Homo-oligomer: A and B are copies of this chain.
Amino acid sequence: MSSPRIVFDGAQSIVDLTHVLTPQFPLWPGSCPFEMRAVASITTGSAFYLNELRMEEHSGTHVDAPAHAAADGITVEQIPVADLIAPIAVVDISTRATSDNDALLTRADILDWESRHGHLPERCIVAMNSGWDARVATPGAFSNQDALGVQRTPGFDPEAVDFLVHERNIVAIGSDTLSIDAGRSVTYGAHLNALGAGKYGVEALANLSRIPASGATVMVGAPTHAGGSGGPARVLALF
């Protein structure tokens, strides 16, 4: 592997882009619940406190490996480590998403970002900030299902992902919602275009408003269980 040049010179701030995972954390409708069961406890006489965990891979702030949406895609432990440390470009569509729950991050939004911050950095992660992370503690507001059960949440326009994959150099795309696709999508074009091209996804990111649109670097602590389609990840931003 040729190593990328990593420069965090003078970075002063660390922002946690990871939500705390609880049994109440909103999940994709129909998912197996997150459960934590005490195996031993100091208060009842054991030397140690520890738990057994049970969860679906795509719980809390998490990674989608290419294999999640592409039959020939790599699984989560195969994502190259060099792709887990990357500059992050935050594209803010939160104003539009306030009035339109189905707002899409478009190619025009990316070009607008570039007009203000310059060309997207090489091997970057492009993250959608829809402001959705503020809804995480309000029951129902994060998955935001309508009367028919359809999730009305922002996401990437598949055409914008196609642009990022073919005309820019990215390692991943990320969102502050449950999905990189808009919730009402039934064709999952953002997933297919990103994961199908070997890029990974990061979903349910927190605190994207607390990092600069340009100039931060993230470490994506993807899990390493063999053959996994993704899983909870600790994501830290430095700038």
Contacts and interface: CB of A to CB of B under 8 A. Distances in A.
Interface of A: 3, 5-16, 18-22, 32, 34, 36, 39, 42-43, 47-58, 60-61, 67-71, 77, 81-82, 84-85, 188, 191, 219-234, 236, 238
Given A11-B6, A61-B224, A234-B234, A48 B84 contact: no
Contacts of A82: 14
A7 B10 contact: yes
A144 to B, nearest CB: 20
A40 to B, nearest CB: 9
A14 B8 contact: no
Copies of this chain present: 2
Contact of A69 (B47, B52, B61, B84): B47
Given A11-B6, A21-B225, A226-B20, A55 B52 contact: yes
Contacts of A85: 14, 219, 236, 238
B12 A9 contact: no
A69 B48 contact: yes
A181 to B, nearest CB: 10
